[in-house]
Structure 1
């Protein structure tokens, strides 16, 4: 079970996530107005710190322009790109043509009992998506950090249909691991809100608890 913690903004955050043994660190750039938005300089600095410490840095972006994403990739050296908006399969194909060294993690958005991009799964896979991430939309259509769990039936449907690994986001904590971890084929989780303290900082104890709960062996 892969564990990704999203929204690191400091070297201390990266060190705490590395100490907890997480697999991926989400670094925001091109998420305008986001609580964890980084300058391209900070993106590069934290990506280097993550790589040195162990976790794989992931560029998390809403950008849909290939040139903008390519510039961030080249300046930061990241090898994973999480396309968190409504980027289409053609954009994925063009990005991989421009940056063949990167792996694309494409977010699929869930509204109620529907995966908005369900019909595009084959096209995204043909375009070269390496992994999917299911996340919920806010009631107002807001993307990301909604703390709303994905409908388990929707997650099961996407997991059965996809031919690449699928991760899950949306309101995940150490306390609901037993609810979602049994989903057949689930590759990992992505946590933002559930890994933070009361004032919004990454909480090392919560991260460690998430890691333990979600990677515990079952008999």
Structure 2
């Protein structure tokens, strides 16, 4: 099971996430008003910090849709994953796939509002465009997307997963105590791992190695 911890803004947070046993570190860029939004230069610095741990791979998390600009941020000097966390169309995925270096993985977030997925009818189109995997996340109050801390229903998750031919990550209010709420998700053959933000943070709002480790241990338990 892959564990992704999202929203690092400092080298200390990156190293703490690596010490916690996670596999992926989410770095925000092109998230207007986001508390963890990074400049392109800072994104590159923290991606290098992730590589230096010998464990973590960096994930560029973005609401942006400029495929050419995003592709320039990836590759040997940048993140090895791009997570499109917004309502970018399949055409953006197709344009990215044509531009990113070999080995860069493209993740498309699917947004679930209540029991329905906004992009459900586009799953096949995203796959044909070159999506490597999906990430399922909940829409918050007022249509907010990203870091909503709202949990999804296990049956909704597995129902969407059954429509896919690609692996998926689960996000949305995951913590060290709610793994048992997702038996169908954990057993699904396309389940790839989890994406955590709020539950990995300490009282100061920063990513805390101890909290990230608690989530990682709980979800990787037999």
User: Taking structure 1 as the reference length, what is the TM-score of the superposition?
Assistant: 0.95
Greater displacement, 48-57 / 68-77? 68-77
Alignment check: 8 A CA contact 2:110 2:137 kept: yes
Gaps of 5+ in 2: none
What is the DSSP-based 3-state SS (H/G/I as helix, E as strand, rest coil) of the residue aligned with 2:142? coil
Is 1:49 the counterpart of 2:52 in the alignment?
no
The aligned residue for residue 114 of structure 1 is 116
The aligned residue for residue 141 of structure 2 is 139
Alignment check: 8 A CA contact 1:43 1:76 kept: no
Alignment check: 8 A CA contact 1:196 1:206 kept: yes
The aligned residue for residue 91 of structure 1 is 92
**CA offsets 1:42-75 (integer angstroms, 9 cap, x no match):** 1001101101211110000000111221232269
Over aligned residue pairs, what C-alpha RMSD do you find? 1.4
Q: Distance in 2 between matches of 1:110 and 1:181?
A: 19
Gaps of 5+ in 1: none
Runs of 4+ in 1 over 4 A off after TM superposition: none
The aligned residue for residue 82 of structure 1 is 83
The aligned residue for residue 187 of structure 1 is 192
Matching of residues 133-212 of structure 1 within 5 Å: 133-183=135-185, 184-185=188-189, 186-212=191-217
Q: Distance in 1 between matches of 2:64 and 2:183?
A: 31
What is the DSSP-based 3-state SS (H/G/I as helix, E as strand, rest coil) of the residue aligned with 1:17? helix
Q: Distance in 2 between matches of 1:143 and 1:47?
A: 24
User: Taking structure 2 as the reference length, what is the TM-score of the superposition?
Assistant: 0.94
Q: Distance in 1 between matches of 2:73 and 2:117?
A: 29
Alignment check: 8 A CA contact 2:155 2:184 kept: no
Q: Distance in 1 between matches of 2:94 and 2:7?
A: 26
Alignment coverage as a number of residue pairs: 217
Alignment check: 8 A CA contact 1:25 1:55 kept: yes
Q: Distance in 2 between matches of 1:14 and 1:47?
A: 9
